[in-house]
Structure 1
Amino acid sequence: MSNQTVLDINDKPKGSQLITLSLQHMFAMFGSTILVPTLTGLSPAIALLTSGIATLFFLLITRFQVPAYLGSSFAFIAPILVATKAAGGPGGAMIGAMAVGIVYGIVSLLIWKTGYKWILRILPPIVVAPVIMVIGLALAGTAVDMAMNETLDNGTKVYHASYFVIALITLAAAIIVNNFVKGVVSTMPILIGLIVGYIAALISDQIAGTSFINFTAVTEAAWIASPDFLIPGIDYDFKVTSTLLLAMVPIVIVTISEHIGHQLVLGKVVHRNFIKSPGLHRSLLGDGFGTLISSLIGGPPKTTYGENIGVLVLTRVFSVWVIGGAAVFAVLLSFSGKLMALVSTIPTPVLGGVSILLFGIIASSGLRMLVENKIDFDHSRNLVIASVILILGIGGGKLLWENAFGIKGYDFAIEGMALAAIVGVLLNIILPGKAQPDLELLADEKKEQQLNKN
């Protein structure tokens, strides 16, 4: 154990310390966890509930060896919107998310039996990085629209300078926290941005006479209330279609790579090799099972969180007891009717302000992956793969086969980032030459080989 470590993975804090540390960790995840459902029309309460449940299952599946918290995945924002529109309701997104969880399970089984190197060959940085960029850039219009425009009941969009001012205040707060604030608060730019933007909207309502916030829902809400569950076969028809599957499943190309990256970084922080023990297959299965459980009751797909790693780095508290405590508090908080009603009153421009930063960071993360792995764009293979992925994904490419397979009325469609991801994988397999490997994984492998020799 490092001399800097305050609490190692299996160390149990004392009662009051456990409560304080767990609450601190939960609030670091809170803003991002509720932002995804807020942007996609799902229930923030269910998202919070399922993040807690998924985290507890993740800890169990990884044998309480990996101090990771599972929150709502931003990679699935656009796919959720597509699946919801295609099915005429959020049930479509839940069916797609169930399929995602099952795919995670299949991949984790294959990794358990055959090792993980094959998946790195299928998903090298030249494929994953441009797809990550597409995820952020494809949502750019949504973020800016929320930041500037009011959408009327008839669908007409009306520009308001007051919207943009509130969005810029929100954005500024998030940027300041992210760049200039120290300590645990620096891991909460989304949450702090939402709070500052909300306060700014309240002040605007009082001084300028705007009408950003209506507290009627909060006053009418009960202190304790059950989240709005979405149960298959009860709240929506369980009808699996290719449109739903193709909207959601291809995104695992990104989220699996993201998961591997998080496990590598997390392992370096806590001085463990999680790829080897408890094994990538276990942590990936934990992610997938969390997503499956979440989708069965109406929550968005789950993923390990960078915010979680940030808190671990700053506090040096690696205890799975603290992670578990944060999960329990998330479950309890999801039943707070007043708090969840308050979340529903967050003004659209406030969401737009944090989304500008968040979606931009997602896109920039893809760019950073290209730089860190020293991808050579003088190599025509790399140039072609990245170019095709970016244009198909951002341009909204669509492959439509009407009356597919001779079935009248059955349309087979795949579009946007899902199409871009699939085409990217195929190009990587088909084009001559060898993809550049992930340098971080390569360095870890060489280091381990050297240690074994010694």
Structure 2
Amino acid sequence: MSLNKITKTIENDKHSWVDVLIGAQMLFVAFGALVLVPLLTGLNPNVALFTAGVGTIIFQITTRGKVPVFLASSFAFIAPISYGVSQWGIPATLGGLVVAGFVFIFFSFLVKINGADVINKILPPVVTGPIIMVIGLSLAPIAVNMAMGSGIDASLPKYQLIIISMASLITTLIVAIWAKGILKLVPIISGIFVGYALSCFLGLVDFQPVINAPWFSVPSFTFPEFKWQAIVYMIPIVIAPTIEHVGDIMAIGSVTGKDYTKNPGLQKTLLGDGLATSVAGFFGGPPCITYAEVIGAVTLTRNFKTRIMTWAAIWAIAMSFIGKVGAFLASIPSVVMGGIMVLLFGSIASVGVNILVKHKVDLSISRNMCITALVLVFGIGGMIFDFGSYVLEGISLCGILAIVLNLILPRS
């Protein structure tokens, strides 16, 4: 072998190891948001790590390794999963999530047949904006109750619990606004770290489950059951993550200078996201969605290799088999999460407002005002349509209402 070939081989090996480490960094960026969803909804965080890794690999295969994104737990499904678990149990809720992935796949076929503009025709800003606002605002009472320490059986006085939640919240705010470099991309982890440290200092954390947990453990997979009530409830929820997906694909395209809506095509990215979501639901994990945090990390590092995301996925799968990871995450007091949720759910609602503002939706026009007003009041007020064996309420009701009104109300 010539000296040039030896040198080239060494350089390739060096770059491969660098990619492995950068992949771990990408997972670190996504980690806080990834595990937050299962911790809030009662799903297993180790399973969420596993399904995020598998979902990302499925996405990379579907898009032929052309889009440098990482897929993991979707915030849009926090409220629907929590409601579904309380109404029908975890297996039935997972069945609804599996079918929700098929809706992504349906949208991918629509795009393939009619072009990318069909998404905006079915789901214009006047529909998606209010729905996303309802997703965030409907969660506000949950966030506030957790931040105040509701449900915690502890000897600590209420004011100390509020101090913990506000410390988590303030840390998250400070990091999100004033931090620099890679630290700016991990505000959730920073908030959890400070809140957890304070909880330990005040004696709120029990380390015994972490000590007892094994190092190696197969994730506790839960397989779905299919109940039509849960399926019908979950289908309209896909509206919000579909819009988020399209926005993320355009965002990463603007960073890399490539139009991923044409190559590999929006139909391929939606198909990959749908398959990832269905597979995640089948194993007991939350739905997968492209992660804006990781897109921010790509923007910062200017490293556009898709194999880095593959390594991040491999790291996620490997970590899912470490039993102590799940035990540690389960030891985080809910009051710590409550402080972060206050900001998180408010941010979701703000995204809905931003959609209306960014697209200049004129609420002085009667049809726009009626759609927005009815969706907000039905969603936040808790309107219920009870048909006996099936109840339509919450985000599902708002999604159907917004789409129907947009189709039937005159545009002039």
> Which residue number in structure 1 is paired with residue 407 of structure 2?
429
Matching of residues 1-150 of structure 1 within 5 Å: 14-87=15-88, 89-150=89-150
Which whole-Å deviations, capped at 9, do the CAs of 1:346-372 have from their partners, x for residues lacking one?
Answer: 011101011111111111111111111
Matching of residues 94-243 of structure 1 within 5 Å: 94-151=94-151, 160-205=158-203, 212-232=204-224, 238-241=225-228, 243=229
SS at match of 1:150: coil
* Structure 2: tracts of 5 or more residues without a match: 1-11
C-alpha distance in 2, partners of 1:340/1:261?
A: 32
Q: Does 1:288 align with 2:274?
A: yes
Matching of residues 361-440 of structure 1 within 5 Å: 361-402=347-388, 411-433=389-411
Cα distance change on mapping 1:303 and 1:159 into 2, 3 Å: farther
Q: Which one-letter code corresponds to 1:240 in the other structure? A: K
SS at match of 1:14: helix
The answer (yes or no) to whether the contact 2:130–2:353 under 8 Å persists in 1 is yes
SS at match of 2:150: strand
Q: Which one-letter code corresponds to 1:77 in the other structure? A: I
Q: Which moved more, 1:104-113 or 1:48-57?
A: 104-113
Cα distance change on mapping 1:64 and 1:13 into 2, 3 Å: farther
Q: Which one-letter code corresponds to 1:167 in the other structure? A: S
**Offset of residue 394 of structure 1:** 1.1
**Offset of residue 344 of structure 1:** 0.4
C-alpha distance in 2, partners of 1:112/1:33?
A: 30
Which whole-Å deviations, capped at 9, do the CAs of 1:36-85 have from their partners, x for residues lacking one?
Answer: 00000000000011001000110110010011110100101111112112
**Offset of residue 246 of structure 1:** 2.6
Q: Which moved more, 1:392-401 or 1:285-294?
A: 392-401
The answer (yes or no) to whether the contact 1:73–1:300 under 8 Å persists in 2 is yes
C-alpha distance in 2, partners of 1:36/1:398?
A: 26
Cα distance change on mapping 1:216 and 1:135 into 2, 3 Å: same
The answer (yes or no) to whether the contact 2:55–2:275 under 8 Å persists in 1 is yes
TM value normalised by structure 1:
0.85
The answer (yes or no) to whether the contact 1:12–1:321 under 8 Å persists in 2 is no
> Which residue number in structure 2 is paired with residue 313 of structure 1?
299
C-alpha distance in 2, partners of 1:162/1:92?
A: 38
Q: Which runs of 4+ in 1 moved over 4 A?
A: none
> Which residue number in structure 2 is paired with residue 345 of structure 1?
331
C-alpha distance in 1, partners of 2:251/2:193?
A: 29
The answer (yes or no) to whether the contact 1:12–1:319 under 8 Å persists in 2 is no
Which whole-Å deviations, capped at 9, do the CAs of 1:125-184 have from their partners, x for residues lacking one?
Answer: 11101111111110011011111033268xxxx981111110000001111110001111
**Offset of residue 118 of structure 1:** 2.2
The answer (yes or no) to whether the contact 1:13–1:321 under 8 Å persists in 2 is no
C-alpha distance in 1, partners of 2:128/2:293?
A: 21
Flag the structure with higher helix content.
Answer: 2
* Structure 1: tracts of 5 or more residues without a match: 1-10, 206-211, 233-237, 403-410, 435-454
C-alpha distance in 2, partners of 1:170/1:96?
A: 33
> Which residue number in structure 2 is paired with residue 208 of structure 1?
none
Cα distance change on mapping 1:152 and 1:35 into 2, 3 Å: closer
Which whole-Å deviations, capped at 9, do the CAs of 1:223-267 have from their partners, x for residues lacking one?
Answer: 1111110124xxxxx3422x2023211011111111111111111
The answer (yes or no) to whether the contact 2:129–2:353 under 8 Å persists in 1 is yes
Match of 2:241 among 255, 280, 295: 255
**Offset of residue 377 of structure 1:** 1.4
Q: Which one-letter code corresponds to 1:166 in the other structure? A: I
The answer (yes or no) to whether the contact 2:222–2:283 under 8 Å persists in 1 is yes
Q: Which one-letter code corresponds to 2:209 in the other structure? A: A
TM value normalised by structure 2:
0.94
**Offset of residue 12 of structure 1:** 9.5
Q: Which one-letter code corresponds to 1:198 in the other structure? A: Y
Q: Does 1:358 align with 2:350?
A: no
SS at match of 1:71: strand
**Offset of residue 13 of structure 1:** 7.1
Compute the RMSD of aligned alpha carbons.
Answer: 1.6
The answer (yes or no) to whether the contact 1:108–1:281 under 8 Å persists in 2 is yes
Match of 1:271 among 257, 260, 266: 257
- Residue identity over aligned pairs, in percent, reads 39
SS at match of 2:183: helix
Cα distance change on mapping 1:12 and 1:373 into 2, 3 Å: farther
The answer (yes or no) to whether the contact 2:110–2:118 under 8 Å persists in 1 is no
Match of 1:328 among 309, 314, 318: 314
> Which residue number in structure 1 is paired with residue 3 of structure 2?
none
The answer (yes or no) to whether the contact 2:175–2:184 under 8 Å persists in 1 is yes
SS at match of 2:369: helix
The answer (yes or no) to whether the contact 1:396–1:417 under 8 Å persists in 2 is no
Q: Which moved more, 1:108-117 or 1:23-32?
A: 108-117
C-alpha distance in 2, partners of 1:258/1:429?
A: 22
Q: Which one-letter code corresponds to 1:67 in the other structure? A: P
